[in-house]
Amino acid sequence: MTQPGLGPLQDGTTAVVIGGGPGGTAAAITLRREAQRLGRNIRVVIIEEKHFAGERQHNQCAGVLSPPVAELITDELGVKFPFHLSQNEITGYVLHTPHRQIVLDGETEPSIAFRRVQFDAYMLAAVEQYGVEVADGRVTDLEFHDDQVIVYTNSLPLQADVVIGAFGMDEGAAMLFARAVGYRPPPALSSVVTKYHPSEAGMASFGQRIHAFLPPNPHIEFGAITPKANHLTINIAGMAVDVHLMESFLATPGVRANLPDLDNPENRHSRDLRFFKGRFPRGLARNISGNRFIMVGDAAGLVRAFKGKGVTSAIQTGIRAAQVILHEGISGLAFEQYRIANQDIIRDLPYGQAMRLLTIIAARTRLMEAAVLAAERDPHLRRALFDSVSAHRAYRDVVREAFTPASMKSLLAGFIRTFRNQ
């Protein structure tokens, strides 16, 4: 039985979205579009303190959007996909281990590299055509009552019927929800991101593939170099990566070999090799929903585990949260349908976490060298490696393909060849 006042949002109600990234804008647009279709007039307000326009804000995301993100934005949100902002099409990957490398080209449509601040600014501007209000400010406190939520900001307070947490890994917002409703943020990996502008010839020689690295340093789980329009985005991730680990990564011969002209200081751009630090989830958050609140995207830990698809998952979960709010209600019981709607992501998390652990072990013991050697001859293993790096498919499907009898036979042969050559 629906609790009084906690049913689906009706005329004259208000939803406040904290965070104007992909998850927040997707939730806001879906609320307005779907409410209009149902004949309801709902006020939707996004609170966002960052200034994406003019690129005054740096986003630590590498900025690679994978399929089906274009279809989600166009078909589900009714927003023209911003192909004009594309920095590059990513046609494949080069996976580097300390002693080997393999080219991994997928058969699916390419991913698209963006500057995340440009993409976020575009999406935040797009919400206004649907009547969504955008408030420039920072949330300073929350009060949850039986009949409403008071959202305090550094400008004006707002009265809301439901609050959507789309604040990513922002620690300040997480603390407010932790104090108010017992929310616990997701476990996370840390990352360090920088960029480098090679010469035009250097960019042309780099190509359209992302170079992914499993370095020998045990504190770096993986690193990557991603080509954009006129620069390369470089990132590393691990439990506690820092500036010294990034410098160590940049000094690795395999990495330097793929950073054209890095040794020539005259080619350096004034903004090159400035380091930015961030975090991204590696598991689910706790208490992500309850009476009058729900979390989406990174704030919920609802992302493809290990790496990849953060923007796509944020948009998907934002859409699903809005649909539950309008059709099921805003109670903790109603939001159980949100968990059900996200089972494709939740069920895949253990597989992604297992892949992460297996990759760490393999990279530290030269087993990954054997896997790469085997994948050079086995197309099924090569496809599994591509899907692991790109997150184009669910990890449970990758595991099933990687551990067939035929693939296990290829892996065993690769192990034998690798250890014979030690």
> Looking at residues 142-152, what average pLDDT do you find?
97
Count of alpha carbons within 13 angstroms of residue 90, beta-carbon side: 30
95 - beta bridge partners?
Answer: 102, 212
Class of domain 189-280: alpha beta
Tell me if residue 421 falls in helix, strand or coil: coil
Nearest Cα residue to 98 out of 359, 357, 363, 358: 363
CA distance 97 to 6: 53
421: confidence class by pLDDT, cuts 50, 70, 90: low
| 31-80 pLDDT per residue, tens | 999 999 999 999 999 999 987 655 555 555 667 887 788 999 999 999 99
**Domain limits, the chain:** 14-63+115-187+282-346, 189-280, 360-420
The reported pLDDT for the residue numbered 407 is 77
Q: What is the mean pLDDT of residues 70-98?
A: 92
SS3 of residue 385 by DSSP: helix
Candidates 392, 365, 306, 376; CA nearest to 101 is: 376
Distance CA(296)–CA(299), nearest Å, equals: 6
Q: Average per-residue pLDDT in the chain?
A: 89
- Distance between CA atoms of 371 and 208, rounded to whole angstroms? 24
Compute the distance between CA of residue 248 and CA of residue 312 in angstroms, rounded to an integer: 31
pTM for this entry: 0.92
Strand duo 162-165 + 293-295: pairing: parallel
Measured CA distances, 288 to 27, 138, 310, 323, 336 (Å): 15, 21, 17, 16, 10
Residue 238 above 90 pLDDT?
yes
* pLDDT (0 to 100) of residue 165: 98
Smallest CA-to-CA distance from 72 within 297, 341, 318 is with 318
The hierarchical CATH code for the domain 14-63+115-187+282-346 is 3.50.50.60
Alpha-carbon distance 186 to 200, whole Å?
41
